[in-house]
Structure 1
């Protein structure tokens, strides 16, 4: 069976902290609906970093340190660090 956007899982990302000033304007409390097909308005640099996790989770895999699929991830910009929590919808 082919995997299509309709069969993919979606995830909710919530910005939980920003240290500095996010260049994309993200602020704590911002929410994004994400999948491998949709960045949902999240900064492209951050989406690029979390895409491998999305790919694993969307195809039924697990992340060893996040067995329930709830991940805390950080932006690659270490000078203006944005932290988000990713969880399945």
Structure 2
């Protein structure tokens, strides 16, 4: 059985008018295996299906910057996260 790849989640932007209620700031980086409890549960809920796709060999569509991004569902904050599969 092959080992699942490591996943890194980075907060890269904020689109909403309010600061993150969980205290996340642009530049925060999370190792999915080691630090998933630090990531806001609402953002984690959005990220999980994408992480699952990456871990089981799938690919995600890239954005104009060439990476994959998702947003937290808090309309006042709208943190933008990048997901990367570590090689």
Alignment partner of 1:86 is 2:76: no
Large movers: runs of 4+ above 2 Å:
none
The number of aligned residues is 81
Residue from 16, 32, 51 that aligns with 1:54: 51
Residue from 11, 14, 25 that aligns with 2:10: 14
Residue from 68, 73, 78 that aligns with 1:76: 73
TM-score, normalisation: structure 1: 0.78
Q: Deviations over 1:52-89 (max 9, x none)?
A: 011111000112x23xx931110010111101111111
Structure with the bigger percentage of helix: 2
Runs (5+) with no aligned partner, structure 2? none
Runs (5+) with no aligned partner, structure 1? none
Residues of 1 paired with 2:45 and 2:81: CA distance? 14
